[in-house]
Amino acid sequence: MRKNVILLTLVLGGAVLMFLFIYPRFSQKDFSYGLDIYGGTVLIYEADLHNISPAEYFSAMNGLKDVIERRVNYSGIKEPRISVEKIGEHWRLRVELAGIKDVDKAIKMIGQTPYLEFRELKNNPEGTDKDKEEKLEFQPTILTGKYLERAELGFDPTTSLPVVNLQFNSKGTKIFAELTKKNLNKPLAIYLDGQPISIPVVREVITSGRAQISGKFTVAEARTLVQRLNQGALPVPIHLISQQTISPILGSQSLLKIKKAGLWGFVGIIIFMIIVYGYEGFLASLSLIIYLLISLTIFKALPVTLTLAGITGFILSIGMAVDANILIFEYSKERYQQGISKKAAFREGFKNAWPAIRDSNISTIISAIILYYFTSSLVRGFALTLAIGTAVSIITAIYITRLFIETLLPGRKSNP
């Protein structure tokens, strides 16, 4: 009995702590909400990887992620969430921007990240004629903006036109040396975002890792290009395939409504349990509150990203969590009618209801795990809240309710 009182104090103390952690007024940390609640934009880019070997896909995608992250951060948008997704054969970049107003600007800014590449002449012996320069065909090489260390603005000493000086990193320097050796006395084209901006002819093997773009740009254009190149060139080309924007106002309205609905649903459950099961129903409601506190604490601590569908799933799991207690109460009722004491009947009830509770909840957890691993982020939030909710409900329905009934249910005490 004393052990139970200590446990009960621990549970209640824990409940107070969890409440303080969850309640916004006492806690700095906020829940992590999905796009449909915080408002903002999700951009999904498809990466074009056909120029690099499969072994490098992963590092190329991470490079891409870093570059875009730097770009977005530079523009002052707070906490972008950028993730690499591999779906079948496709590699995607998912960019989540919270609460921004000017999506167009954001998209342009990301899209403007230059894709710099060097292209060599296609093996075509007839194409060396000067008159045919317009028809020259180039093929991509492995030298891209990925290997760039920095870019600088400079001026051509003879024409005094602005030029952009490029300095490759050590790996880029090596590649550039080989490329110039291979293409000696042949043109080597510099492409920016798929357009040739300069097609110099290689006069010597360059081992210093320096290259120069002497296009026909103005000083301002050259300066912008330098800036953009230094902020990071994309290692692979990308294009936007999907966009979602939700206004933060709509999102916060939705959150308010779903919270209110959830609260009323919860109150409805408690009233129902008290009407049907009386004092025991009240005790089950107490453990339901503990269930709510534990789940929300886990959601906040991990954190689990809460979407509207995820919250709906969680509110639904509250209803299902009561099921374990209803099962126990109904099983106990059978025993009680057979003429044993109330507490003894409950002990039997817990024991007999266990297989049904275990099997039904494990099936739910199996489904949730499969959903988590086989679906996209849209459904993942729901799967995670469902799995956590179910696991927590087993614990609270069995252990916490039993503790409440053992300690708080009046009745004949066999051994005080």
Partner 1 sequence: MINFIKNRKVFYIISGILIISSVFVISFWGLKWGVDFKGGSLWELNVPNSLTVKDKIADYLQGSSVGQTTVQVTGEGNLIFRFSSISEEKHQQLLQDLKRQFPDLEEKRFESIGPVIGKELTRKMVWAFLLVVLGILLYLSYSFSQSFHNIPSYKYSLLAILCLVHDTLIVVAVFAVLGRFLNWEVNSDFIVAILTVLGYSVHDTIVVYNKVRENLRLFSKEPLDVIINKSISQTLIRSINTSLTTIFPLVALFLMGPHSIKALVLAMVVGVIAGTYSSLALATSLLYDWNRRSR
Which 74-103 residues touch partner 1, going by CB under 8 A? Answer: 87-88, 90, 103
Peptide bond into 80 cis (omega under 30): no
Among 1, 2, 25, 104, binds partner 1 (CB under 8 A): 104
Alpha-carbon distance of 1 to 280, in angstroms, equals: 19
Q: How far is the CB of 201 from partner 1 (least distance, A)?
A: 37
Let me know: does 239 contact 68? Beta carbons within 8 Å: no
Closer residue to partner 1 (CB): 184 or 366: 366
- Segment near partner 1 (CB under 8 A); pick from 139-147, 183-191, 226-234, 249-257: 249-257
Among 93, 222, 318, 345, binds partner 1 (CB under 8 A): 318
- Segment near partner 1 (CB under 8 A); pick from 72-80, 139-147, 246-254, 391-399: 246-254
Binding residues for partner 1 restricted to 322-341, rule: CB under 8 A: 322-323, 326-327, 330, 334
Interaction between residue 247 and partner 1 (CB under 8 A): yes
Dihedral of the alpha carbons of 220, 226, 229, 231, in degrees to the nearest 10: -90
Radius of gyration over alpha carbons of the chain, in Å? 32
Let me know: does 138 contact 122? Beta carbons within 8 Å: yes
- Segment near partner 1 (CB under 8 A); pick from 68-76, 143-151, 348-356, 400-408: 348-356
Among 249, 410, 413, 416, binds partner 1 (CB under 8 A): 249
Q: How far is the CB of 106 from partner 1 (least distance, A)?
A: 10
Q: What token pair was written down for 109?
A: 């800014």
The residue assigned the tokens 């000493």 is 157
The residue assigned the tokens 């760039």 is 148
Closer residue to partner 1 (CB): 132 or 257: 257
Q: Where are the alpha helices (DSSP H) in 199-305?
A: 219-230, 248-301
| Helices 377-395 + 308-337 axis angle, to 10 | 30
- Segment near partner 1 (CB under 8 A); pick from 140-148, 167-175, 208-216, 316-324: 316-324
Q: How far is the CB of 324 from partner 1 (least distance, A)?
A: 9
Q: How far is the CB of 237 from partner 1 (least distance, A)?
A: 16
Residue 305 per-residue DSSP state:
P
Binding residues for partner 1 restricted to 355-384, rule: CB under 8 A: 355-356, 358-364, 366-368, 370-371, 374-376, 378-379, 382-383
Return the half-sphere exposure (C-beta side, CA atoms, 13 A cut-off) of residue 316.
12
Interaction between residue 112 and partner 1 (CB under 8 A): no
Q: How far is the CB of 244 from partner 1 (least distance, A)?
A: 4
Among 242, 302, 395, 411, binds partner 1 (CB under 8 A): 242
Dihedral of the alpha carbons of 338, 340, 346, 352, in degrees to the nearest 10: -50
Let me know: does 148 contact 213? Beta carbons within 8 Å: no
Q: How many residues are listed for the chain in this entry?
A: 416
Closer residue to partner 1 (CB): 105 or 150: 105
Q: What token pair was written down for 81?
A: 């969430």
Alpha-carbon distance of 85 to 76, in angstroms, equals: 25
